Structure 1
Amino acid sequence: METVGHKPLWGFATESADIREVDQTEVAIGNGKPIRDYNELIRTLATIQYHNPDFVLMLRGQTRDYKSGAATTLKPSILRGRDGHYPGRAELDRRFRGLKNAERSLAEQFRSHNIPDPKQRVFKHRIVRWAILQHYEVVDTPLLDVTLSPRIAASFASISNREWGYIYVLAVPNISAAVTSSAEAGLQIIRLSSVCPYIAMRPGVQEGYLLGEYPEIDAMETKSLIPYEETDFSLRPISKIKFRPRNFWDRSGISEAAHEHLYPEEDDGFGRMIEELKDDVRRQRGSL
């Protein structure tokens, strides 16, 4: 039986070959652990999971290690500013108004296109509307895309021709439902395949999840109560991993997920609905 109380987090922040106790600040400012191929990625993740049995490991792949000052920043799209700086109250207010307008448009499009939603989740739950808007890149939201799949994370980290790709390993509480809320962690975890319409292809292919603040940041008024530095998911990573994409896949004996796999062709009705929704949101944005 283990002692009740704070448990150390173990991970990789630098080029050190050995896993060790880390904190999030150290991971954020670290250069990351370099790996050579997919097998080494799997071994590294297995080592991290073994040393952190009380957490689920979520992965985020990026083509750049975005920083604010010397530290990695992982802000949701609606809160991102240029070079990690605060976007400003007026800009954030505009973005949150745009999000609310997009939510209304989404509900209207679901009705007009007869998208199957037997449990009426889109109409009942704001977090479900946000999940669809974020995952299909319709409008900025307070949510962050992550995945359980190492191959999907590594593929997203390889999309551009940059020298390095990055994978962030985020520790989250155990997932118990379609939407898991943890007041202790101040976090919501949304399983996309459980909240998106079952005709949507992308959530299942990407093994997609979304992370959000709990309680939700739903307006500029709510955001103003939370310090800007606390609305950053760089508070969650316990490891930073990097690799050279070209060499990584050549050595791995496994190919990266192709673009048409990451972004599969959707059902005609759902795909048309998303495109019309994006057009509607673009028109609204021009009037804000």
Structure 2
Amino acid sequence: MFWHLFYFFFIVKNSTTSPSLRSGTPPLQEENFWPVQIWKAGSFMRLPVVFYASFFFIVMMNYFSTFNIRFQDFIKVTLTEMKALDLVYTFPIKNCRFRKSNTCKNTGQLCVISTSPLVPNNYSELCDLVAKLAYFNRRYVLFFRGQDKEYKFKSRFPTIYPNYFRKLLMKQNPADQLKKVLDENSNKLKRKIHVRKIRFHGSFYVVGNELLRFALLQHYEICDTPLIDLTQSLYVAASFALLPPVGEDERGYREGIVYVIALPRNNKIYRDDVSDNIFLTNLVGITPPQAKRPYRQEAYSVTSSNLNLELIGDISHFDLAGRVVCKFKVNNSDEFWNCGMNPMTREFLLPEDDKFFDFILDNEHLSMHRYPAGLNYC
């Protein structure tokens, strides 16, 4: 091998690196071109060159074969990223107000979440502006999320994380503890439906799909999950943004944030789309009519597709902020709600007589034939 390498570098050193441009001789016929000299050296150099090239090819194929296995494990994490929108149509912003033209334009995704929330004068104007957003972003379906404030973590930009990952970021709970509680509640819900043979519209999907069970646990606030609640009702989102904390007077002045989020169209009970990296479910499609919360809230749940909590690395992939089309600041003043409407109350949005909520909280030691009243065979 030493003599082969020595002879190879000797030929290269004593030859031109490229054919003479003036001679007009084709490269493969140039006598002083080093690849030609190596090939004309006979089997002394031909066979080693073929051997080393084959050996290098086999080694690289073996390496990439091993790499592909590792990459398949890694791709489970990277595919969980919710792809941000490439084309976002929103309103030009000036001093937290809309410009007089009120026309939508194409902007980058970060400029939406990073700006101050826009301030409509009243709820009627808010509805009109959302209608324009829906028209210009008609490739998508607009969803809404109401919050009492915006959440930031080590960034000047607001984030929209599920509570599961927000607690991981804030280091309030270790990852193994959060996952243990989530798995226990998910398996408990599965046993309640499967073992007791409780039938309701959507029970088949809930038993067979773990993410659907996560969605129910998230919506009914049983435990922290990697999903986040959305609604297709602007009215519901604005009402949630203005809900006072439990025990506080509902008549006090409050402000809140309403996010407008664009997601792929969903014509099924749930959508698990790897290309968009979105898992989106309509809770109305997997719960019986006795489940009052999902119906009154027009509730949806969303997370990243191919979720694997054991392989999660960079949890910033679960931030929904990249799909925000616009955000508004709302308040509960009479001037804002001057259209004959008032925000929904906590009693309406979170009714205490939700029989499906009673079913989820039902203890497992109860009799197999005991069901929450009116829930069996819905």
Instruction: Tell me the TM-score range normalised by the shorter chain.
Output: 0.7 to 0.9
Does the alignment pair 1:140 with 2:224?
yes
- Corresponding residue for residue 154 of structure 1: 238
Matches within 5 A, 1:224-235: 224=313, 227-235=314-322
- Corresponding residue for residue 16 of structure 1: 98
Does the alignment pair 1:78 with 2:164?
yes
Cα distance, 1:8–1:120 mapped onto 2, change above 3 Å: closer
Contact persistence 1:173–1:182 (CA under 8 A): no
1:168-197 CA distance string (max 9 Å, x none): 011101112011122222111100000123
State the secondary structure of the residue aligned to 2:290. coil
> Mean alpha-carbon deviation: is it higher for 250-259 or for 104-113?
104-113
Instruction: Give 1:162 shift.
Output: 6.3
Instruction: Give 1:251 shift.
Output: 2.1
- Corresponding residue for residue 182 of structure 1: 273
- Corresponding residue for residue 242 of structure 1: 329
Matches within 5 A, 1:203-222: 203-216=294-307, 218-219=308-309, 221-222=310-311
1:114-146 CA distance string (max 9 Å, x none): 643365222211122111100000011111100
Cα distance, 1:277–1:165 mapped onto 2, change above 3 Å: farther
1:239-271 CA distance string (max 9 Å, x none): 111122224554232111121210124454x34
Instruction: Give 1:112 shift.
Output: 7.1
- Corresponding residue for residue 284 of structure 1: none
CA distance in 1: counterparts of 2:192 and 2:346, whole angstroms: 27
CA distance in 2: counterparts of 1:162 and 1:111, whole angstroms: 47
State the secondary structure of the residue aligned to 2:97. coil
Cα distance, 1:252–1:244 mapped onto 2, change above 3 Å: same
1:1-37 CA distance string (max 9 Å, x none): xxxxx96310146533333222221112111110122
* 1:96 counterpart (179, 197, 203): 179
The aligned length equals: 265
> Mean alpha-carbon deviation: is it higher for 39-48 or for 99-108?
99-108
* 2:204 counterpart (110, 113, 120): 120
Cα distance, 1:101–1:115 mapped onto 2, change above 3 Å: same
CA distance in 2: counterparts of 1:245 and 1:140, whole angstroms: 29
CA distance in 2: counterparts of 1:34 and 1:202, whole angstroms: 29
Contact persistence 1:131–1:143 (CA under 8 A): yes
CA distance in 2: counterparts of 1:178 and 1:24, whole angstroms: 28
Q: More relative contact order in 1 or in 2 (CA 8 Å, sep 6+)?
A: 1
CA distance in 2: counterparts of 1:277 and 1:43, whole angstroms: 47
- Corresponding residue for residue 283 of structure 2: 192
CA distance in 2: counterparts of 1:71 and 1:34, whole angstroms: 18
CA distance in 1: counterparts of 2:86 and 2:206, whole angstroms: 38
CA distance in 1: counterparts of 2:335 and 2:362, whole angstroms: 38
CA distance in 1: counterparts of 2:190 and 2:121, whole angstroms: 46
- Corresponding residue for residue 282 of structure 1: none
Does the alignment pair 1:107 with 2:194?
no
Query: Rg: which structure is higher?
Result: 2
Amino acid at match of 2:97: E
CA distance in 2: counterparts of 1:111 and 1:162, whole angstroms: 47
Instruction: Give 1:277 shift.
Output: 5.7
Amino acid at match of 2:258: I
> Mean alpha-carbon deviation: is it higher for 9-18 or for 28-37?
9-18
- Corresponding residue for residue 368 of structure 2: none
Matches within 5 A, 1:257-268: 257-268=344-355
CA distance in 2: counterparts of 1:212 and 1:22, whole angstroms: 24
Contact persistence 1:138–1:277 (CA under 8 A): no
State the secondary structure of the residue aligned to 1:252. coil
- What TM-score, normalized to structure 2? 0.64
State the secondary structure of the residue aligned to 2:260. strand
- Corresponding residue for residue 44 of structure 1: 129
State the secondary structure of the residue aligned to 2:98. coil
Q: CA RMSD in A?
A: 2.4
- Corresponding residue for residue 33 of structure 1: 118
Cα distance, 1:15–1:146 mapped onto 2, change above 3 Å: same
Amino acid at match of 1:29: S
Gaps of 5+ in 2: 1-84, 245-251, 365-378
Amino acid at match of 2:230: V
* 2:312 counterpart (220, 223, 248): 223
